[in-house]
Chain A
Amino acid sequence: MTAQDALITVSVGCGFRLVAEAVATSLAENADVCVVSVGTDLAELTVPPGTKEPDVAVLCYYQAGWDAIDLCAEIKSRAERTKVVLGGPREPASILQTAVLAGADGFVMDGEPVTALVDAVRDVHAGKSRVPGEMLGSLLRGLIEFRREDDILVEKFASLGRREKEVLIAMVSGASDADIAKRMYLSAHTVRTHARNVLKKLGFHSRAEAARAVLGHDLIARFGLASESAPLPAGRTGRLR
């Protein structure tokens, strides 16, 4: 084993460059840590081709609007071996929950000292998970609840008719009723009727609620349905007429 192998290679991301660099500097003070990339987005965090993916990615969720969760999912899908530690606020607990669902291996509360982050990096590198003990209870409850909702939602979604699913997917993509009507060769009234039935079957009160559930539970991809929000190609229209 060479000296290089003994080091934990780390990427550090934060929506604020100044914070990312400061955290990277602090991590690099530790003799067993080697920072290989620092940045505010995936492109900057990506190591050059041919280089080994970092052992650990540290993502600091500090800037409102910077999506650490999606970045986490993206990093995980690119390199399974890279462990992800998320630094973030304790409240709301949903941040930790979505992070875990996105594949995060560790979570450090932003009220903890930076030494906790160093410990977390070492822990996840050693194959352990790290979640603050005080947050574990609400995390487990949240995950169980999510799972339960998921089962119910999947069942209800499967009960929708083909056209209803199509309307729902178009709706979730943000198309207006008129757009959907035109695209699916229906009248706007029919679209509204489909939408009403979909909401009723799924047990939602508003379209926004439905959209959140479909996006949050990733139903479109899981049911192998394409989000056909773009106009249908000409070849497809024959069947619909």
Chain B
Amino acid sequence: MVNRTVRRDNPSEHLAVRHLVEVPSDGCHARGTVLVVGVPLLYATPLAWSLLRRLDLGGPSSQVASSDGGPQLVVLAGKGPDNDDLVDVAVGLGEEHPKATVVVLSEKTGPRALKSPTTPGGPWFVSLHDSMRDVLAPYEEVGGERKANTLHNSIPRRDAARRALSASKTEDERALLSPREREVLELFAGGADQAEIADELGIAKDTVRSHLSNIMAKLGVVNRVALLARSSEMRTGRVERSALR
């Protein structure tokens, strides 16, 4: 199973990082166990706590929920190039922990990031750009009775609608770039040459070159130095916009 979480090339190597987080009872929530995959330890515990409490798996009345020691919640974060890679891993983790709810934290925004579970009990998708408030519990109390939330995928729907509304006013230039392009740009701005970027990301130098040309085309800059200047402008906002066109 562990093999399944490691891809052949290095971009998703982080998926091999696993933390089992014990969340103690805080009086109004039951204690629980969360398996966090692909998240550095510093953020794993906070995410495990917040998401478990937010989703309220087990609920206040079910102290026995985690008696078998397995996790109720599996959280998987994707730094990978595509959600599809994560879906494979998520499905595998779901098979490994059939009792657990699997949540995929996706870096993507927009409709592609927000797939609803395709099978009952299939993985949920939550965008890392969302607020905890937007993460809805899969259960709700109706007249004192716990009831499965009929809109199991209400997170995707609501967010897709909200994003569609706000998409027209999104001006962030970074949003133009794909996550991979952002990675390339960051390494490039940090002083890496093409060979180093290729090495770091585990891709061919020609791929780096074409990423860079695509980035330049998207940002409307004409040469690599202008790209450097623009990337520092994107970070500081100090350089006059008109100057770089």
Contact with A along B157-190 (1 / 0, CB 8 A): 0000000000000000010010100110110001
Chain B contact residues: helix, strand, loop or mixed: helix
Contact, CB under 8 Å: B41 / A22: no
**Do residues A211 and B46 form an inter-chain contact, with CB atoms below 8 A?**
no
**How far is A230 from B135 in the complex, measured between Cα atoms in Å?**
46
Chain A residues with Cβ below 8 Å from B50 are: 21-22, 25-26
Which among A12-20, A46-54, A122-130, A134-142 touches the partner chain? A12-20
Q: Would you call B46 and A26 a contact (CB within 8 A)?
A: yes
Instruction: Give how many B residues have a beta carbon under 8 Å from the other chain's beta carbons.
Output: 48
- CB-CB under 8 A for A208 and B224, given A89-B40, A110-B41, A113-B41: yes
Q: Is the CB of B228 within 8 A of A215?
A: yes
**Closest A residue to B188 using CB positions:** A208
Query: A67 to B185, alpha carbons, bound, how many Å?
Result: 12
The answer to whether B224 touches A18, judged by C-beta atoms less than 8 angstroms apart, is no
Q: In this complex, what residue of A is CB-closest to B183?
A: A64
Pairwise interchain contact A208-B42, C-beta atoms closer than 8 A: no
Chain A residues positioned under 8 Å from B105 (CB to CB): 18
Chain A's interface size range is 35 or more
Smallest CB-CB separation from B79: which chain A residue? A64
Asked if A65 CB lies within 8 Å of chain B CBs, one says: yes
Tell me the residues in window 26-54 of chain B with beta carbons closer than 8 Å to chain A beta carbons: 40-43, 45-47, 49-51
B129-168 near A? 1/0 per residue, CB < 8 Å: 1111001000000000000000000000000000000000
- Chain A residues with Cβ below 8 Å from B130 are 17-18
In the assembly, what is the distance between CA of A117 and CA of B239, in Å?
34
Bound-state CA distance A176–B225 (Å) is 9
Contact of B186 among A64, A176, A211 (CB under 8 A): A64
The contact sample of 21 A-B pairs, CB cut-off 8 A, is: A22-B43, A22-B49, A22-B50, A23-B46, A26-B50, A60-B43, A62-B40, A65-B182, A94-B191, A110-B42, A112-B41, A114-B42, A116-B42, A117-B42, A173-B243, A174-B226, A174-B227, A174-B228, A176-B222, A176-B223, A227-B243
Q: Which B residues have a C-beta under 8 Å from some C-beta of A?
A: 40-43, 45-47, 49-51, 79, 105, 107, 126-132, 135, 174, 177, 179, 182-183, 185-186, 190-191, 221-230, 232, 235-236, 239-240, 242-244
